[in-house]
């Protein structure tokens, strides 16, 4: 998402630029700016050499934090983690109610471009699936109801026991994001807390990536 603004002043100065940026920041979006080019014409009252076009590019970069379960940080290869992080950072969706499908679509689209598979079924003839797989690393992206989070854990454990995966990455919203995009949405803090309780039940080496 981007916006354009025209700033005019004498001798190439750009008046009140800081005011413009403050207004944009107050909209809860971080904007960066760069000068594109001097304008040769802009209305009749603005001299060509005193009008500058600035491009304000929204910086809606999704941030993340990570938690390692059962040595997940050691079992997930660095290049695989880099691709997951790139997919997270590529999400530029405004965090608001109803945003979950758009977050999912953008994240998955980036993974696909990097060679990750389409959905992988847990067993032959089953309609239960995880989001993706690459190089024996299973990935679940959960932006839906909390109950689905537990189903994803069972799927990953089954794949691990069947030697279909050697480790997993579980991507889901951090608590503030989960609360903002809907009701009873799966969230990383709860997953991390409860995995400590179920360590002997779910023991797939897993990296939890929290979208912030």
Both structure tokens of 206:
């897993």
- Do 19 and 89 belong together in one domain? no
- Structure confidence at residue 63 (pLDDT): 83
186 touches 166 (CB < 8 A) = no
- Do 35 and 78 belong together in one domain? no
Q: In this predicted model, which residue has the larger pLDDT, 54 or 74?
A: 74
Q: Could you say which of 17, 40, 58 is where a domain stops? A: 58
Band of pLDDT at residue 59, cut at 50, 70 and 90:
very low
- Structure confidence at residue 34 (pLDDT): 35
- Do 108 and 163 belong together in one domain? yes
Domain tally, the chain: 2
- Structure confidence at residue 18 (pLDDT): 32
- Do 50 and 69 belong together in one domain? no
- Structure confidence at residue 61 (pLDDT): 60
CA dihedral for 9, 14, 18, 20, sign (positive or negative)? positive
Residue 80 pLDDT > 50: yes
What pLDDT, in 10s, does the model give residues 136-188?
999 999 999 999 999 999 999 999 999 999 999 999 999 999 999 999 999 99
CATH assignment at residue 149: 3.40.91.20
- Do 118 and 179 belong together in one domain? yes
Q: Report, as an integer, the average pLDDT of 56-76.
A: 79
- Do 97 and 197 belong together in one domain? yes
Q: Report, as an integer, the average pLDDT of 114-139.
A: 96
Parent domain of 71: 64-211
Q: Could you say which of 37, 58, 79 is where a domain stops? A: 58
169 touches 76 (CB < 8 A) = yes
- Do 31 and 74 belong together in one domain? no
- Structure confidence at residue 64 (pLDDT): 87
């Amino acid at each position: 998402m981007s916006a354009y603004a025209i700033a005019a002043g004498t001798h190439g100065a750009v008046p009140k630029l800081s005011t413009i940026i403050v207004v944009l920041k107050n909209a809860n979006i971080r904007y960066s700016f760069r000068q594109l080019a001097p304008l040769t014409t802009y209305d009749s009252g603005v001299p060509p050499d005193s009008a500058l076009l600035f491009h304000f590019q929204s910086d809606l970069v999704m941030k993340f934090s990570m938690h390692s379960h059962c040595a997940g940080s050691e079992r997930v290869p660095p290049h695989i983690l880099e691709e997951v992080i790139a997919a997270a950072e590529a999400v530029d969706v405004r965090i608001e109610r109803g945003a979950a499908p758009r977050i999912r679509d953008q994240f998955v689209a980036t993974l696909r471009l990097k060679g990750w598979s389409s959905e992988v079924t847990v067993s032959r003839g089953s309609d239960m699936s995880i989001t993706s797989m690459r190089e024996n690393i299973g990935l679940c992206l959960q932006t839906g109801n909390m109950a689905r989070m537990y189903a994803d854990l069972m799927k990953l454990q089954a794949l691990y026991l069947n030697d279909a995966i050697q480790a997993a990455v579980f991507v889901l919203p951090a608590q503030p994001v989960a609360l903002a995009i809907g009701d009873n949405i799966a969230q990383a803090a709860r997953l991390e807390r409860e995995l400590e309780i179920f360590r002997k039940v779910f023991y797939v080496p897993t990296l939890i990536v929290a979208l912030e």
